[in-house]
């Protein structure tokens, strides 16, 4: 957080720029502009695939402009460089710190996939509430060849849950989404999988519709847990409502 006080009475404005990356490996092809221009990611498996490096650049450029024009402005300007926008965790933590308690106006933005170069779009609707969930399945090990009946497969339970989640009835009250984005499971080729970890998200046009999706996920996990005789834990990784 950077704060510029003009020294003259006026409102407090906050401008927010989210800056986190995503776990994607950047292309090494020379026709990939970050490669050819020399600003590709320096960390394997991590890159600004969602354009948040542009947010950082915009924030720093605006801070530079404000500093250059300080004598023409009034009040205070806060520059918020927010972590963890992916997974909707960072904003809540920053707000809880009190940094925006005295803010009169807060402006946030994101690079636009539909806006042409040199244009700005004002989005008043179309946002979806979202909940990010991690589900941890715990089974029972056994030798898959000698004693398969003694094991309880966390992997099979997770796969069943993932498929059932795709079949959650859509809500007639508004738009819904569900995405199972990651599933890691198993210990070895001939061992009944003991662990399976799933990352997923649901979305809804309203907070109520989003919670409808969350409740269905919870019901599915509970049913799969009973059917496959495994243990399961759901952890809320992040949430944002409308």
Three-state SS sequence of 187-233: CCCCECCCEEEEEEEEEECCHHHHHHHHHHHHHHHHHHHHHHCCEEE
pTM of the model: 0.77
E strands of the chain, at which residues? Answer: 2-5, 12-18, 76-82, 105-108, 129-138, 176-185, 195-204, 231-240
pLDDT tens digits, the chain, 242 residues: what are they?
999 999 999 999 999 999 988 889 999 999 999 899 998 999 999 998 888 888 999 999 999 999 999 999 999 999 999 998 877 888 888 899 999 999 999 998 888 777 888 888 887 777 889 999 999 999 999 999 999 999 999 999 999 999 999 999 999 999 999 999 999 999 999 999 999 999 999 999 999 999 999 999 999 999 999 999 999 999 999 898 87
């Amino acid at each position: 957080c950077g704060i510029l006080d003009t020294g003259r009475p006026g409102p407090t404005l906050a401008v927010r720029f989210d800056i986190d990356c995503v776990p994607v490996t950047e292309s090494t092809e020379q026709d990939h502009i970050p490669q050819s221009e020399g600003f590709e990611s320096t960390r394997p498996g991590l890159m600004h695939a969602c354009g948040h490096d542009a947010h950082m650049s915009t924030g720093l450029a605006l801070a530079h402009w404000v500093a250059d024009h300080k004598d023409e402005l009034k009040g205070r300007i806060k520059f918020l460089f927010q972590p963890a926008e992916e997974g909707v965790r960072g904003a809540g933590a920053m707000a809880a710190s009190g940094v925006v308690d005295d803010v009169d106006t807060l402006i946030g933005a994101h690079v636009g996939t539909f806006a042409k170069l040199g244009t700005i779009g004002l989005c008043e609707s179309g946002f979806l509430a979202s909940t990010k969930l991690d589900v941890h399945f715990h089974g029972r090990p056994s030798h898959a060849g000698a004693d398969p009946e003694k094991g309880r497969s966390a992997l099979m339970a997770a796969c069943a849950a993932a498929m059932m989640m795709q079949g959650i009835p859509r809500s007639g009250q508004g738009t819904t989404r569900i995405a199972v984005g990651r599933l890691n499971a198993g210990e070895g080729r001939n061992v009944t999988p003991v662990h399976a970890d799933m990352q997923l998200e649901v979305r809804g046009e309203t907070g109520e519709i989003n919670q409808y999706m969350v409740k269905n996920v919870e019901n599915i996990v509970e049913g799969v847990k009973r059917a496959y005789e495994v243990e399961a834990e759901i952890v809320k990784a992040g949430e944002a409502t409308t």
